[in-house]
Amino acid sequence: MRMRKKKHGAERIEACAHLLITPNEEIKADLQSAFVEKRPIHLEIGCGKGNFAVGMAAQHHDVNFIAMEKIADVACLALEKAERAKDERCDNLRFIIGDAKNLVEYFPEHSIDCIYLNFSDPWPKAGHAKRRLTYHTFLEIYKTLLKEGGLLRLKTDNEGLFDFSLEEFEAFGLKFEFVTRDLHNSEMNEGNVMTEYEKNFSDKGQPIYSAHVRF
């Protein structure tokens, strides 16, 4: 997702600072301290403009959501979307600007119940496989962060990334709970919250691939 630098980006992010998690010792010791109430924590990595995180937080008040995005200007749009959508129950959504490769430095071990990877960059060149968010070094990070038996949920339009991910999951010994090559015509479509990319691809008639695997 290429973006022009946002005018007044820093000020706009600062205006939503109450929704932002800043990595610090308190967060590293207790991730629930980012929220008003203690609830299971779900993390979306690469949230883009935030449609999924905002929609999920509105739909599941019994879950605390964290949406992570590495590009500050993109995170700014997600933060502003959450701010616009805010009702009195929107105390269950927080954002973090950062790179997934540093997650173990930010969050406590075994503090997260579920991780979502939605339309992650496919990095199609073989030489870039290590950058894919389902490469086994990332799975190691997720294993450290997830609680025992935690869930990883993947959605993508990219068949190459999907097939690669299934191989990585299998080699890592993860338990497959759900696999489809057409999410929108599957039993998991009920309650599915679409991301920005998902809406674009499905509007063009492309199928959505999805898998849920348990650690």
Decide whether 106 or 215 has the Cβ nearer to ligand SAM: 106
Cβ at position 52, least distance to ligand SAM in Å: 6
Cβ at position 82, least distance to ligand SAM in Å: 14
Query: Is 163 assigned a catalytic role?
Result: no
Q: Which two tokens stand for residue 15?
A: 């205006």
Cβ at position 81, least distance to ligand SAM in Å: 12
Q: Which stretches of the chain bind ligand SAM, using CB under 6 A?
A: 1, 45-48, 68-71, 74, 99-101, 118-121, 195-198
Decide whether 128 or 175 has the Cβ nearer to ligand SAM: 128
Q: Which two tokens stand for residue 136?
A: 């086994």
Given the residues 30, 99, 113, 121, select the one marked as catalytic.
121
Q: Which residues are catalytic?
A: 121
